[in-house]
């Protein structure tokens, strides 16, 4: 936020429903999910407050406190330091709390109260409090905290948002203020004396008021990382001075038998518990009743059953991708054929018509056909996330993760990688340990993203027979699951290897809130499907279409004087492909696949559209040739045998499990690591894995007499 | 010159331009603090 327009900041613990409230207030469609860490960067929206009034809403990443540990928490802490210096302060802060976990959620609220900014307390998830037949005395809570307003609400059930809008209207009209002083943290005199040099430093060099200076001094005592946010505001020598003051204070505190690391937490929780008790609000906390989620967790996070159920679910998802998608895929295939026929009928013969039919329709159509499969995969992934199951997967996998140098928090970004590596890499910002975050980023592209799905399904659908194994398991489904597991298991092995060579710069701990199981919101589910579908068709579609056009030219020229005599091998594309063919021939790939390997750097699925365009240029028929049919019909003129066999298909799939092909991923890795070294390393190790993995499959298969 | 060939060439040039633009954009996009080499964005050396 650098503009001077009044705005309201939206803050709260992870998974407190902050993003859902942001969406309700602004009408935007940010992703909402049932696991912590969805908001990893701040975003801005405009809230319509009715009566012709609007206000800007700044949605900050969820954080448990203002002490920065991970990158997303640092975004919040840095923003708050700006406000504390009076720069671009919000008109108010909406502190979103989970009403069913009041005392824990109030920790952040008490820190926000120190900032001398009006705080509106949004008591979200009141539906759960009501379900437990509990009540919260709103007036008492308001008096206790000294906040501007306490708004009971349920973002999930869409109620309470009008009251929040009204409160925002009052704040923006500046006619709303608390009649009581905000709740102040009590710091014992002995500690206060130790903190005094730091407090004075803050008063002198950052111009904090005395009370704020004391609480900030306490914060940097707790974590040295809290100093980082002051780096832009102080000279290096002042930072050195502050570090020295901190180290001295820490020594004194530890000498008085108080653990400095938990000092702020201890003082704040003592304050919250004491105040909740004196205002008779403590009855809201009732952790002794075993909830339905806890009962379900006994099975789903069971040491043995938990992982088995997870594997079973994955198999079910990949199997359904084949069975459910076949009908809509047939419809799309039919539609593409009709579009091709319509173009042929409507346009006179010529180069432009050939470009449209062989390049655009064949290329884009060959990718569009996989839309149902991608949507089915996304449907299940969103369902697992929104229900709260993904958070359990992270919990179950923590032990395995730590053995390979990763963190429990790595699981959710890795699972996001099944959809697309880019949001997964961004989601690693929640991992506070540098080494664990870097390793997660480096292995994340090995998780099979949805762009690989068209490659897998094309090869499996065309060359793997529809056999049933053991009476219930479908061979095509098993091969698909194997491709996903191959990527995942290799990722874990690579993580274990890399972790030995990267120095650890800090300790990490895994504290993760297990959200209650919730029935996913249909609107959120379908919004995600719409966004994912749009991304695939529009964003990926544009580059696929452009590459198909360029490729058509490369495959159709140079034209000879006798135009009909052009063989595709003599085209520019053919020459490029044949140039690289000797390097890829040991993998069972011909020059057409070689062209696909180059073009798929734009996006992995482009290999499918590339093959479709090349076969259609070669076909020169008056119809659009289906890619599956084209692959099956392709005969090697030298050997007279089919060029594509199940072994070649397997080799191609293994190559794409490991393939580095995705420029967007390299760009995001460069962004997130601030170095070209790591994306380069990633490209080299992934390409080596892809080449040798594929070589092993093809040559090994041939030695074993497979075809 | 053949009318269809002219349109095809124009579309081909536009498509090539778009492919080049996309590649350049993807490889040069920088959004974060370039000061810190080797470490994830926003995490500087002092402090931790």
As for the ipTM of the complex, it is 0.73
Where does residue A669 rank: exposed (0-12), middle (13-18), buried (19+ CB within 10 A)?
buried
Q: What gap in Å lies between CA A556 and CA A572, rounded to an integer?
A: 8
A543 touches chain B (CB under 8 A): yes
Cross-chain CB nearest to A351 (options B2, B26, B35): B2
Asked if A663 lies within 8 A of B33 by C-beta distance, the reply is: no
A205 contact partners, CB below 8 Å, separation of at least 6: A234, A238
Contacts of A667 in chain B (CB under 8 A): 26-27, 29
For residue A513, count other CB atoms closer than 10 A to its CB: 16
Please give the torsion angle defined by the CA atoms of residues A689, A690, A695 and A701, in that order, rounded to the nearest 10 degrees.
110
Q: How confident is the model at residue B46 (pLDDT cuts 50, 70, 90)?
A: very low
* C-beta of residue A147 within 8 angstroms of C-beta of residue A116: no
* C-beta of residue A656 within 8 angstroms of C-beta of residue A689: no
A502 touches chain B (CB under 8 A): no
Backbone phi, then psi, for B13, in 5-degree steps?
-65, -40
Cis peptide upstream of residue A558 (ω within 30 degrees of 0): yes
Rounded alpha-carbon distances, angstroms, from residue A278 to A264, A282, A543: 21, 9, 63
Contacts of A429 in chain B (CB under 8 A): 40
Q: What is the pLDDT of residue B1?
A: 62
Rounded alpha-carbon distances, angstroms, from residue A401 to A81, A393, A441: 34, 11, 14
* C-beta of residue A234 within 8 angstroms of C-beta of residue A205: yes
A286 contact partners, CB below 8 Å, separation of at least 6: A132, A134
Q: What gap in Å lies between CA A370 and CA A349, rounded to an integer?
A: 30
Cross-chain CB nearest to B47 (options A227, A664, A672): A227
B12 touches chain A (CB under 8 A): yes
* C-beta of residue A34 within 8 angstroms of C-beta of residue A515: yes
Q: What is the pLDDT of residue A561?
A: 52
Q: What gap in Å lies between CA A249 and CA A251, rounded to an integer?
A: 5
Q: How confident is the model at residue B11 (pLDDT cuts 50, 70, 90)?
A: very high
- Residue with more model confidence, A148 or B43: A148
* C-beta of residue A547 within 8 angstroms of C-beta of residue A609: yes
* C-beta of residue A456 within 8 angstroms of C-beta of residue A653: yes
Provide DSSP, A497-525: HHHTTS---S--------PPP-PPPHHHH
A135's tokens: 């009540």
Asked if B27 lies within 8 A of A75 by C-beta distance, the reply is: no
Distance from the Cα of A124 to chain B's closest Cα (Å) equals 31
Delimit the domains of chain A by residue range: 7-172, 189-284
Helix (H, G, I), strand (E, B) or coil at A447: coil
pLDDT tens per residue, range A266-311: 888 888 888 888 877 755 555 555 667 778 888 888 888 988 998 8
Distance from the Cα of B15 to chain A's closest Cα (Å) equals 5
Beta strands A468-469 and A473-474 are antiparallel
Q: What is the pLDDT of residue B48?
A: 29
Q: Which residue of A40, A352, A678 to mutate against B (max B Cβ within 10 Å)? A: A352
Asked if A543 lies within 8 A of B22 by C-beta distance, the reply is: yes
Cross-chain CB nearest to B7 (options A228, A352, A429): A352
Q: What gap in Å lies between CA B36 and CA B43, rounded to an integer?
A: 8
Helix (H, G, I), strand (E, B) or coil at A318: helix
Q: What is the pLDDT of residue A604?
A: 86
Q: Which residue of A351, A357, A664 to mutate against B (max B Cβ within 10 Å)? A: A351
Distance from the Cα of B21 to chain A's closest Cα (Å) equals 10
A435 touches chain B (CB under 8 A): no
The tokens 């926003």 sit on which residue? Answer: B42
Q: What is the pLDDT of residue A277?
A: 83
Domain A189-284 in this protein, CATH class = mainly alpha
A452 touches chain B (CB under 8 A): no
Show the low-confidence residues of chain A (pLDDT under 70): 1-4, 28-42, 174-180, 282-291, 504-513, 560-566, 620-622
Domain A7-172 in this protein, CATH class = alpha beta
Contacts of A441 in chain B (CB under 8 A): 40
- Considering just the CA atoms, what is the radius of gyration of chain B in Å? 21
Beta bridge partners of A468: A474
Q: What gap in Å lies between CA A391 and CA A416, rounded to an integer?
A: 12
Q: What gap in Å lies between CA A136 and CA A447, rounded to an integer?
A: 45
Q: What gap in Å lies between CA A149 and CA A178, rounded to an integer?
A: 8
Contacts of A428 in chain B (CB under 8 A): 40
Distance from the Cα of A323 to chain B's closest Cα (Å) equals 35
Strands lying side by side in the sheet with A43-48: A43-48, A54-59, A7-12, A92-98, A119-124, A149-152
Q: What gap in Å lies between CA A487 and CA A451, rounded to an integer?
A: 14
A224 touches chain B (CB under 8 A): yes
Q: Which residue of B25, B43, B44 to mutate against A (max A Cβ within 10 Å)? A: B43
* C-beta of residue A433 within 8 angstroms of C-beta of residue A506: yes
Asked if A550 lies within 8 A of B19 by C-beta distance, the reply is: yes
A235 touches chain B (CB under 8 A): no
Asked if B48 lies within 8 A of A225 by C-beta distance, the reply is: yes
In terms of CA atoms, which chain B residue is nearest residue A240?
Answer: B46
Asked if B33 lies within 8 A of A674 by C-beta distance, the reply is: yes
Helix (H, G, I), strand (E, B) or coil at A432: coil
Asked if B12 lies within 8 A of A671 by C-beta distance, the reply is: no
A553 touches chain B (CB under 8 A): yes
Contacts of B44 in chain A (CB under 8 A): 228, 231
Q: What is the pLDDT of residue A683?
A: 93
* C-beta of residue A118 within 8 angstroms of C-beta of residue A131: no
Asked if B15 lies within 8 A of A550 by C-beta distance, the reply is: yes
Asked if A671 lies within 8 A of B30 by C-beta distance, the reply is: yes
CA proximity to A243, closest of A261, A260, A228: A228
């Amino acid at each position: 936020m650098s503009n001077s327009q009044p705005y309201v900041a939206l803050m709260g613990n992870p998974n407190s429903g902050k993003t859902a409230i942001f969406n309700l207030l602004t009408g935007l469609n940010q992703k909402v999910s049932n696991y912590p860490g969805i908001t990893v960067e701040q975003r801005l929206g405009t809230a319509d407050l009715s009566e012709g009034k609007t206000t800007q809403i700044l949605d900050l990443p969820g954080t448990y406190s203002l002490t920065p540990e991970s990158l997303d928490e640092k975004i919040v802490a840095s923003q708050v330091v700006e406000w504390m210096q009076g720069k671009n302060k919000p008109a108010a802060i909406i502190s979103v709390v989970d009403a069913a976990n009041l005392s824990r959620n109030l920790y952040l609220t008490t820190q926000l109260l120190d900032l001398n900014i009006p705080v509106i307390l949004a008591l979200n998830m009141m539906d759960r409090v009501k379900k437990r037949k509990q009540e919260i005395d709103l007036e008492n809570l308001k008096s206790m905290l000294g906040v501007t307003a306490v708004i009971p609400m349920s973002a999930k059930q869409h109620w309470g948002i009008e009251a929040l809008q009204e409160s925002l209207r009052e704040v923006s009209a500046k006619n709303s203020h608390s009649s009581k002083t905000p709740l102040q943290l009590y710091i014992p005199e002995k500690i206060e004396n130790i903190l005094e040099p730091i407090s004075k430093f803050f008063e002198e060099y950052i111009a904090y008021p005395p009370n704020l200076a004391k609480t900030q001094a306490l914060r940097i005592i707790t974590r040295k990382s809290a100093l980082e946010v002051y780096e832009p505001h102080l000279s290096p020598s002042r930072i050195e001075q502050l570090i020295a003051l901190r180290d001295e204070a820490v020594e004194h505190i530890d000498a008085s038998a108080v653990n400095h690391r938990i000092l702020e937490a201890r003082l704040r929780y003592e304050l919250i518990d004491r105040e909740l008790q004196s205002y008779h609000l403590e009855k809201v906390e009732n952790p002794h009743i075993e909830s339905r989620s806890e009962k379900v967790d006994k099975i789903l996070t069971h040491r043995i059953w938990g992982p088995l159920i997870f594997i079973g679910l994955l198999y079910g998802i990949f199997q359904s991708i084949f069975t459910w998608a076949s009908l809509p895929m047939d419809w799309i295939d039919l539609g593409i054929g009709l579009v091709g026929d319509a173009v042929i009928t409507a346009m006179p013969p010529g180069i432009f018509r050939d470009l449209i039919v062989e390049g655009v329709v064949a290329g884009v159509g060959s990718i569009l056909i996989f839309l149902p499969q991608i949507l089915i995969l996304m449907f299940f992934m969103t369902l697992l996330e929104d229900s709260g199951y993904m958070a359990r997967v992270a919990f179950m996998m923590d032990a395995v993760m730590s053995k390979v140098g990763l963190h429990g928090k790595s699981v959710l970004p890795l699972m996001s990688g099944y959809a697309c590596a880019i949001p997964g890499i961004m989601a690693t910002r929640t991992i506070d340990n540098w080494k664990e975050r870097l390793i997660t980023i480096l292995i994340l592209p090995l998780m099979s993203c949805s762009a690989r799905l068209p490659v897998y399904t094309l090869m499996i659908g065309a060359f793997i027979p529809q056999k049933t194994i053991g009476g219930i398991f479908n061979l095509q489904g098993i091969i698909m699951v194997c491709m996903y597991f191959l990527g995942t298991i290799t990722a874990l092995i690579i993580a274990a290897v890399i972790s030995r060579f990267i120095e650890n710069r800090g300790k990490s701990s895994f504290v993760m809130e297990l959200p209650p199981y919730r029935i996913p919101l249909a609107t959120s589910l379908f919004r995600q499907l719409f966004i994912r579908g749009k991304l695939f068709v529009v964003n990926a579609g544009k580059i696929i279409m452009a590459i198909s056009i360029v490729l058509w030219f490369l495959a159709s020229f140079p034209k000879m004087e006798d135009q009909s005599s052009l063989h595709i091998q003599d085209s520019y594309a053919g020459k490029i492909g044949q140039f690289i063919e000797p390097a890829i021939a040991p993998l069972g790939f011909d020059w057409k696949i070689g062209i696909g390997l180059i073009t798929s750097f734009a996006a992995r699925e482009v290999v499918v559209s590339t093959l479709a365009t090349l076969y259609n240029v070669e076909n020169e028929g008056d119809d659009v040739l289906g890619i599956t049919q084209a692959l099956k019909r392709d005969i090697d003129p030298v050997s007279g045998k089919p060029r594509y066999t199940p072994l070649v298909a397997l080799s191609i799939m293994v190559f794409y499990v490991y393939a580095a092909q995705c420029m967007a991923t390299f760009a995001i890795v460069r962004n997130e690591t601030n170095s070209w070294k790591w994306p380069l390393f990633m490209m080299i190790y992934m390409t080596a894995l892809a080449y040798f993995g594929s070589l092993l499959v093809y040559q090994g298969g041939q030695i074993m007499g497979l075809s | 010159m053949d009318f269809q060939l002219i349109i095809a060439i124009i579309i081909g040039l536009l498509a090539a331009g778009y492919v080049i633009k996309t590649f350049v954009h993807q490889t040069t996009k920088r959004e974060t603090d370039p000061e810190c080499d080797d470490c994830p964005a926003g995490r500087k050396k002092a402090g931790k």
